[in-house]
């Protein structure tokens, strides 16, 4: 008895003191309104719908007339409410120590509540409070960029007091990346209450800090146009449109999903449908899709060769359609069966000669190639303001040993030189590195323009290149789009601005050495067809924009991805994105 008396009077003094204080003072949090997200022209991409939540007075006995009356009133006003779930939630939170109203309905739309409010407001057991619900007006068009909010879990609640009170958190995209900004800060009100928990006086009130908004570089009209173009082609893939300074004005991963499905909790049927779709609509292919870069890597590979062995690009290579290593009879084939003949660097880019890069790679070695490609932004995170970005892989000897516990072979160097083998990159990495080739600046891609009214600043790293090497590579990219022998000539030569670029075909299945006549891409089963790349910049003499397109299993970049890139440039020109006074003339 003495020990128990000591525990109650001394050890538990603080607990009972706080409990007594709660009987005369009640502190309630004031929830901040989540910030909105708008595109570059002020169009709302993420907004808050106005509605109401419903809470019920605690300590109503199960099966009592008062609780039944509450249930009947709610059921009559909102027939779709599940009373079984409502009673279960109420019972879980109703305890002798809880004096706060228990929220049983998270959100009722404003128009629906207006019809029921006169009746429900007369019941003292019910409290109706203003509530907001996240809504995405453009849904699927910008799903992978904006992301969505959803109900928070215990782990998320423990990390963030605002999340714990609000019960919602950014789950993906910008909603997740900028959650700490968008959610705002809690306010509170301290009321003096009676023994029956009735507020009689406001002792202190601190308003919440809210409406911390994001303005993006994204132009939703361009975003919609690209998405609908994919839908019209009935193809899956990715398109990134970025200023050469890093501002991402469109980023489409197709197909996508409707983020509004997740706001109130997605059904198991809808979730299963998304998970089982072979086109992976839930995957953000912009930063989470990793693909062999194919021939789009060749500009960077050539610059990596020159960094490792200065002057190496001044010497042409001879292409007879294939090459071998040492005494091996294994043929590393060029895409052109009978070869390209003598190939200088400009021609190697224009006509995408594989043998040129095979030969040079053996003179440089995989480690030097990988080191320089990493410094150009391939196989490393771009730093974009989207969560959980993937690295991709630009391999070297140490990477293979770590991953497979195997040594590196020369044949692997050769195929890595043309963007195959272990090479894998994200479309955003390709867009970023294209901007580097165009300007000499390695930029940080960014989607947000201002955060809570403050402009964002990102790092730009200058990289110097051998003037001969970079000039010949840029001329080769010009030829790709403007010379009749260029791989993208048909799609891009006749535009109102001059475009430079590089196509790429990245194989997803190997071709046997015994195969003499390759099947056309259209003759292959769909999931065996190569991915079709094109990455470009424009105007050629004054690079302002990068357009990178990947069509999954699309075959050849020039014929599949090229027309989409051309359509994007026409749109940009029509909508006056290019500086009129600086429209360049064609190079010779």
Tens-digit pLDDT profile for residues 20-47: 555 678 788 888 999 999 999 999 999 9
- How much of the chain exceeds pLDDT 90, in percent? 65
The candidate with the shortest Cα–Cα distance to 113, out of 95, 128, 133, 94, is 128
- Residue 274 in tokens: 């998304």
pLDDT of residue 196: 63
Half-sphere exposure (Cβ direction) of 52: Cα atoms closer than 13 Å: 17
pLDDT of residue 198: 72
**In the block, residue with structure tokens 């391999």:** 395
CATH fold of 21-216:
Penicillin-binding protein 2a (Domain 2) (3.90.1310)
Confidence of residue 129 (pLDDT cuts 50, 70, 90): confident
pLDDT of residue 156: 93
Query: Cβ contacts of residue 129 below 8 Å, gap of 6+?
Result: 52, 53, 55
Instruction: List strand residue ranges (DSSP E) for 163-259, in order.
Output: 168-172, 187-193, 199-206, 214-216, 237-243, 248-254
Q: Is 522 a catalytic residue?
A: no
pLDDT of residue 270: 85
Domain with CATH 3.90.1310.10 in the chain: 21-216
Answer whether residue 430 shows pLDDT above 60: yes
Active-site hit among 55, 152, 295, 530: 295
318 DSSP β-pair partners: 342
**In the block, residue with structure tokens 């909790």:** 265
pLDDT of residue 23: 60
Q: State the Cα torsion 275-292-460-253 to the nearest 10°.
A: -30
Answer whether residue 11 shows pLDDT above 80: no
What is the arithmetic mean of pLDDT over 88-109? 85
- Residue 514 in tokens: 């015994």
pLDDT of residue 191: 86
What is the arithmetic mean of pLDDT over 582-586? 47
Domain with CATH 3.40.710.10 in the chain: 220-252+287-582
Mean pLDDT of the chain: 89
| Residues 567, 544: Cα–Cα separation, whole Å | 17
Task: Give the ranges where 43-129 is alpha helix by DSSP (H).
Answer: 65-77, 83-93, 110-120
220-252+287-582 classified as CATH 3.40.710.10 = yes
Answer whether residue 332 shows pLDDT above 50: yes
Q: What is the pTM of this model?
A: 0.86
What is the arithmetic mean of pLDDT over 223-229? 98
pLDDT tens digits along 240-294? 999 999 999 999 999 999 999 988 777 788 888 888 888 889 999 999 999 999 9
Answer whether residue 584 shows pLDDT above 50: no
pLDDT of residue 43: 97
Answer whether residue 580 shows pLDDT above 80: no
Higher pLDDT, 18 or 187: 187
DSSP state of 306: H
pLDDT of residue 573: 96
What is the arithmetic mean of pLDDT over 89-108? 85
pLDDT of residue 89: 87
CA distances (Å), 61 to each of 2, 97, 144, 333, in order? Answer: 37, 14, 47, 81
pLDDT of residue 525: 45
pLDDT tens digits along 150-193? 988 889 999 999 999 888 999 999 999 999 999 999 999 988 87
Confidence of residue 299 (pLDDT cuts 50, 70, 90): very high
Please spell the DSSP secondary structure of 246-270, one letter per residue: SBEEEEEEES---THHHHS---HHH
Contact indicator for 424, 504 with CB cutoff of 8 Å: no
CA distances (Å), 465 to each of 38, 106, 468, in order? Answer: 39, 59, 8
- How much of the chain exceeds pLDDT 70, in percent? 91
Question: β-strands 37-38, 214-216: how paired?
Answer: parallel
pLDDT of residue 20: 55
Answer whether residue 399 shows pLDDT above 70: yes
pLDDT of residue 83: 87
206 phi and psi, to 5 degrees? -125, 115
**In the block, residue with structure tokens 């000591």:** 6
Residue 341: its H or E element? strand 341-343
pLDDT tens digits along 505-552? 876 644 444 444 444 444 444 455 789 999 999 999 999 999 999 999
Task: Give the ranges where 424-536 is alpha helix by DSSP (H).
Answer: 427-439, 467-482, 489-492
Task: Give the ranges where 323-365 is alpha helix by DSSP (H).
Answer: 345-350, 354-364
Q: Which of 99-133 are b and which e, b meaning 16 or more Cβ less than 10 Å from the residue's Cβ?
A: eebbbbbbbbeeeebeebeeebeebebbbbeebbb
| Residues 141, 163: Cα–Cα separation, whole Å | 27
Residue 397: its H or E element? helix 397-404
Confidence of residue 16 (pLDDT cuts 50, 70, 90): low
What is the arithmetic mean of pLDDT over 390-412? 97
**In the block, residue with structure tokens 């099947």:** 519
Answer whether residue 346 shows pLDDT above 80: yes
| Residues 578, 244: Cα–Cα separation, whole Å | 12
The candidate with the shortest Cα–Cα distance to 142, out of 244, 274, 44, is 44
pLDDT of residue 369: 98
pLDDT of residue 588: 47
């Amino acid at each position: 008895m003495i020990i128990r008396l000591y525990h109650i009077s001394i050890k538990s003094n603080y607990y009972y003191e706080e409990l007594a204080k709660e009987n005369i003072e009640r502190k309630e949090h004031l929830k901040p309104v989540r910030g909105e997200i708008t595109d570059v022209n002020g169009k709302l991409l993420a907004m808050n719908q106005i509605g109401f939540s419903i809470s019920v007075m605690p300590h109503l006995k199960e099966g009592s007339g008062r609780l039944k009356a509450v249930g009947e009133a709610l059921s009559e006003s909102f027939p779709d409410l599940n009373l079984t779930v409502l009673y279960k939630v109420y019972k879980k939170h109703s305890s002798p120590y809880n004096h706060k109203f228990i929220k049983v309905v998270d959100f009722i739309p404003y128009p629906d509540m207006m019809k029921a409010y006169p009746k429900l407001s007369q019941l003292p057991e019910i409290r109706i409070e203003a509530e907001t619900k996240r809504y995405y007006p453009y849904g699927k068009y910008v799903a992978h960029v904006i992301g969505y909010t959803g109900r928070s879990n215990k782990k998320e609640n423990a990390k963030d007091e605002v999340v714990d009170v609000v019960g919602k958190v950014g789950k993906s995209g910008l909603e997740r990346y900028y959650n700490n900004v968008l959610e705002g800060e809690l306010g509170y009100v301290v009321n003096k209450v009676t023994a029956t928990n009735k507020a009689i006086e406001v002792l202190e009130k601190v308003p919440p800090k809210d409406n911390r908004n994001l303005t993006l570089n994204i132009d939703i009209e361009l975003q919609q146009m690209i998405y609908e173009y994919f839908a019209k082609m009935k193809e899956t893939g990715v398109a990134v449109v970025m200023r050469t300074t890093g501002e991402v004005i469109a980023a489409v991963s197709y197909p996508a999903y409707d983020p509004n499905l997740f706001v109130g909790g997605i059904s198991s049927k809808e979730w299963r449908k998304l998970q089982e779709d072979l086109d992976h609509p839930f995957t953000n292919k912009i930063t989470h899709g990793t693909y062999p870069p194919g021939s789009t890597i060749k500009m960077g590979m050539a610059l990596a060769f020159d960094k490792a062995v200065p002057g190496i690009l001044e010497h042409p290579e001879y292409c007879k359609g294939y090459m071998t290593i040492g005494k091996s009879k294994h043929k590393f084939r060029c895409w052109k069966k009978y070869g390209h003949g003598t190939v200088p660097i400009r021609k190697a880019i224009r006509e995408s000669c594989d043998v040129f890069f095979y030969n040079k790679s053996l003179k440089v070695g995989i480690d030097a190639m990988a080191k320089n490609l990493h410094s150009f932004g391939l196989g490393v995170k771009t730093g974009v303001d989207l969560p959980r970005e993937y690295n991709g892989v630009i391999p070297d000897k140490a990477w293979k040993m770590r991953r497979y516990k195997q040594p590196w072979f020369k044949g692997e160097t050769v195929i890595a030189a043309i963007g195959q083998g272990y090479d894998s990159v994200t479309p955003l990495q390709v867009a970023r590195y294209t901007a580097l080739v165009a300007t000499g600046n390695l930029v940080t891609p960014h989607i947000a323009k201002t955060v809570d009214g403050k402009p964002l600043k990102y790092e730009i790293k200058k990289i110097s290149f051998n003037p001969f090497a970079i000039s010949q590579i840029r001329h080769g990219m010009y030829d790709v789009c403007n010379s009749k022998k260029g791989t993208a000539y048909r799609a891009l030569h006749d535009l109102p601005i001059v475009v430079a670029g590089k196509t790429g075909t990245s194989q997803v299945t190997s071709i046997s050495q015994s195969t003499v006549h390759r099947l056309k891409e259209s003759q292959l089963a769909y999931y065996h067809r190569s991915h079709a790349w094109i990455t470009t910049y424009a105007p050629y003499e004054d690079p302002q924009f990068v357009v990178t397109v990947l069509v999954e299993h699309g075959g050849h970049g020039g014929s599949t991805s090229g027309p989409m890139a051309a359509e994007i440039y026409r749109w940009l020109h029509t909508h006056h994105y290019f500086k009129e006074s600086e429209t360049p003339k064609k190079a010779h």
